[in-house]
Amino acid sequence: MLNFNNTFVTLPEYFYQEVNPTKVTNPSLIKFNYKLAEELGLYDSRLEDITNIFSGNIICPGSQPIAQVYAGHQFGHFVPRLGDGRAILLGEVFDSNGYRKDIQLKGSGRTPYSRGGDGRAWLGPVIREYIISEFMHNLAVPTTRSLAAVLTGEDIYRQEALPGAILTRVASSHIRIGNFEYFAAKDDTEALKLLADYVIDRHYPLIKNDTNPYLSLLGQVLKKQSLLVAKWMSIGFIHGVMNTDNMSISGETIDYGPCAFMDYYDQNMVFSSIDNYGRYAYNNQPKICQWNLSCLAEALLPIIDSNKDHSIELCTEALNSFNQDFKSNFYRLMIGKIGLDGELLEDFMLVQDLLDLMQKYKADFTLTFRYLSKIVDENNDLSSFLKLFDEEANTSSELNLWLSKWRLRLKSHNLDLSKISHRMDLINPAFIPRNHKIEEMIEKAHLNNDYSLMNDFLEIMENPFQEQDIFRKYFFAPENKALNYVTFCGT
Ligand code: AMP
Ligand code: MG
């Protein structure tokens, strides 16, 4: 059994509402993350118990189910009250490292914040989130985790009847920028302070005794988020819906909706069907992250300093550090991806030149970096690498020119080339959950009750840095680069 130790419920009752998951008729377990369960102190549970607990049919002793209230800027527009409309927090547990984790059901029925929604999720987004979040974790990207996926045995209705499902999400906390915005919009300084103190205690205890802990809080979230977005971009990930209610205060990737990994590189890539203006496009992510942080800053203004002008000054200074922070994180990661370990602008120019070529000749993002490690030695065969780029690239000298510049720089490291190549293979994944395979995985699960693809992916993600021949069919992007992949919000 999970050993709950809940703290969010000690905050005043206007931070949340008590609500139990709605029981479902015939739950069945799709996947259970036994490894994660062990880390959370959940051993030896019977299949039936697991199914009942993570479908919301049984409430464990110690669990105090609630829905949290928050607001948020969605596509730039402020919505004063959103809240968990289809998520219910069961409570908190300590993991084996002593870290506090939230255990939350997503898709477990209506809550006081559901508005017109049914509080449910269908199988497709549940599978997507399970796979992508666990993949992110294995690529060392901070993220919420997936503990369980359960079919409810009930249909839900979107444009058609679809199988209902519930995901159990594990997070350092589910507190978002939107939780602060909710109280700021109500001019409730008292609640803002309580929330900020709670967050500092839970996530950033080291800043507690700073001269201005609330300003430090902004700085800490900024640092975490600038690293997070840099990490996303270094693996070609597009979150898709970076609204302020989908940005975690702890710096974890949260709310996997219309997200995706790019196949071929395009800095303006957008997947989400509702992102008409490219607000959350690949290359716009740092700018939007900074914009979201400015919403957090605005919410924190009254508790940072009683003099508003001074508070604004302090926050502006903090926000201005975002660009530099992001850039140094992004440069460091990208420079590492091409096998260098400098942090020079000159090295990053090399990365930028490569990205420009990848953009121009539509090269596969993941495999370009992966294959570079195979050609650190100029005597090695280039053909697989070249095949990643559009044919016109082969008739131009640009790629060769870039390769010579790159190799020259590699040589200056005075390291054994095989060591460099090995190091690159530990940084650049061979596999990512490619969109067309995720779609196939969902279709097979939905139409044929066939989870073999999902199982393959779960195995691949145990070691995404290893090229495994048996999984070759998951390695490549679809041949047709003109296929425009579209993702839909995870409802
Ligand atoms: P999202 O875009 O998934 O982050 O959701 C935005 C808001 O809509 C959040 O407050 C969600 O809780 C709510 N929401 C999304 N889907 C549903 C649903 N099926 N039923 C009720 N609320 C929902
Ligand atoms: Mg959300």
The identity of residue 37, as a single letter, is A
297-355 pLDDT per residue, tens: 999 999 999 999 999 999 999 999 999 999 999 999 999 999 998 767 889 999 999 99
Mean pLDDT of 384-398: 93
Q: Which has the closest alpha carbon to 124: 107, 110, 143? A: 107
Q: Spell out the residues 6+ positions from residue 188 whose beta carbon is closer than 8 angstroms to its own.
A: none
Q: Please say whether the beta carbons of 42 and 90 come within 8 A.
A: no
Segment 404-407 long-range contacts (CB within 8 Å, at least 24 positions apart) = 405/350, 405/353, 406/338, 406/350, 406/354, 406/372, 407/376, 407/378
What pLDDT does 396 receive? 86
Q: Is 102 in the pocket of ligand 1 (CB under 6 A)?
A: no
**pLDDT for 489:** 64
Angle at 114 between CA 150 and CA 252, to 5 degrees: 65
If you ran DSSP here, which 8-state letter would residue 176 be given?
B
95 close to ligand 1 (CB < 6 Angstrom): no
Residue 119, ligand 1, Cβ within 6 A? yes
Q: Which ligand is nearest to the CA of 489?
A: 1
> Ligand 1: does its nearest atom lie under 6 Å from the Cβ of 491?
yes
Place of tokens 């991806």: 337
pLDDT at residue 45, as a whole number: 82
Q: What's the pTM?
A: 0.97
Residue 198 has pLDDT above 60, yes or no: yes
Q: Report helix, strand or coil for 360.
A: helix
Q: Which atom of ligand 1 is nearest to the CA of 120?
A: 19
Q: DSSP label at 152?
A: E
Is the CB of 490 inside a 6 Å radius of any atom of ligand 1? yes
Whether the predicted pLDDT of 410 surpasses 70: yes
* Ligand 1 pocket member 85 (CB < 6 A): yes
Task: Please name the residue that has the structure tokens 């839909």.
Answer: 488
Q: Are 271 and 231 in contact (CB under 8 A)?
A: no
Which residues are catalytically annotated? 245
Q: Compute, in angstroms, the gap from residue 160 CA to the centroid of ligand 2.
A: 23
Identify any residues that bridge with 161 across adjacent strands, giving them in sequence order: 157
The atom of ligand 1 lying closest to the CA of 118 is: 20
Q: What is the C-alpha separation between 119 and 242, in angstroms, rounded?
A: 21
CA 418 from chain centre, in angstroms, equals: 32
Q: Where are the alpha helices (DSSP H) in 92-188?
A: 123-138, 177-185
**CA dist., res. 418 & res. 105, Å (int):** 46
Q: Does 491 score more than 60 pLDDT?
A: no
Ligand 1 site, residue 118, Cβ cutoff 6 A? yes
Closest CA to 154 of 143, 140, 165: 165
Taking ligand 2, which is a single-atom ion, which protein residues have CB atoms under 5 Å away? 246, 255
Q: For 51-86, how does the pLDDT look when each residue is reduced to its tens digit (9 = 90+)?
A: 999 999 999 999 999 999 999 999 999 999 999 999
The set of residues, in sequence order, having a beta carbon less than 8 Å from that of 303 and lying 6+ positions away, is 189, 192, 193, 196, 214
Region 288-294: what's the mean pLDDT?
98
Percent of the chain residues past pLDDT 90, beyond the cut: 92
Least confident of 219-233, 288-302, 434-448, 475-489: 475-489
Please name the residue whose Cα sits nearest to atom 23 of ligand 1. 85
Which protein residue has the closest C-alpha to ligand 1 atom 2?
Answer: 489
User: Is-contact 217 196, C-beta < 8 A?
Assistant: yes
Ligand in nearest proximity to the CA of 156: 1
Q: For the chain, what is the total number of helices (H) and then of strands (E)? A: 16, 12
146-163 pLDDT per residue, tens: 999 999 999 999 999 999
- DSSP type of residue 75: T
Q: For ligand 1, what atom is nearest to the CA of residue 87?
A: 12
pLDDT in tens, 418-449: 999 999 999 999 999 999 999 999 999 999 99
> Integer distance in angstroms from the first to the last C-alpha of the chain?
30
Residues 6 or more apart whose Cβ sits within 8 Å of residue 110: 22, 85, 86, 117, 118, 119
Residue 80: CB within 6 Å of ligand 1? no
Question: Separation of 42 CA from ligand 1 center, angstroms?
Answer: 29
Distance from the alpha carbon of residue 82 to the mean position of ligand 1, in angstroms: 8
Q: Who contacts 286 (Cβ-Cβ below 8 Å, separation ≥6)?
A: 226, 229, 230, 233, 322, 323, 326, 330
DSSP 90: E
Residue 110 pLDDT greater than 70, yes or no? yes
Distance, in Å, from the CA atom of 130 to the CA atom of 88, rounded to the nearest integer, reads: 17
User: What is the 293 CA–ligand 2 centroid distance (Å)?
Assistant: 16
CB 282 within 8 A of CB 266: yes
Assign 239 to helix, strand or coil.
Answer: coil
What's residue 490's pLDDT? 58
Residue whose CA is closest, atom 11 of ligand 1?
Answer: 85
Long-range contacts of 372-377 (CB under 8 A, 24+ apart): 372/337, 372/338, 372/339, 372/406, 372/424, 372/428, 373/339, 373/420, 373/421, 373/422, 373/424, 373/425, 373/428, 374/421, 375/403, 376/339, 376/407, 376/410, 376/417, 376/420, 376/421, 376/424, 377/417, 377/421
Atom number in ligand 1 closest to CA 255? 4
Per-residue confidence (pLDDT) for residue 394, from 0 to 100: 84
Q: Which amino acid is at 45?
A: S
**CB-ligand 1 contact for 274 (6 Å cutoff):** no
Residue nearest to ligand 1 atom 12, measured at CA:
85
Tokens 């121009």 belong to which residue?
Answer: 360
Alpha carbon nearest to ligand 1 atom 7, residue: 82
Q: Is the CB of 125 under 6 A from ligand 1?
A: no
Quote the tokens at residue 343.
């942090």
* Candidate from 17, 73, 86 with most ligand 1 atoms within 8 A of CB, to mutate: 86
- 82 CB near ligand 1 (under 6 Å): yes
- Average pLDDT score over residue span 91-106: 98
What length does the chain have? Answer: 491
CB contact set of 81 (below 8 Å; sequence gap of 6+): 69, 71, 113, 182
CA of 133 to the centre of ligand 1 (A): 18
Distance 256 CA to ligand 2 centre (A): 8
- Counting residues of the chain whose pLDDT is more than 70, the rounded percentage is 99
Is residue 91 very low, low, confident or very high in pLDDT (cuts 50, 70, 90)? very high
> Which pLDDT does position 391 carry in this prediction?
93
Side-chain-side CA neighbours of 322 within 13 Å: the count stands at 24
Closest-lying ligand to the alpha carbon of 257?
1
H-helix or E-strand spanning residue 194: helix 189-203
What are the φ and ψ backbone dihedral angles of 247, each rounded to 5 degrees? Answer: -120, 115
Name beta bridge partners: 419. Answer: none
Atom of ligand 1 nearest to the CA of 246: 4
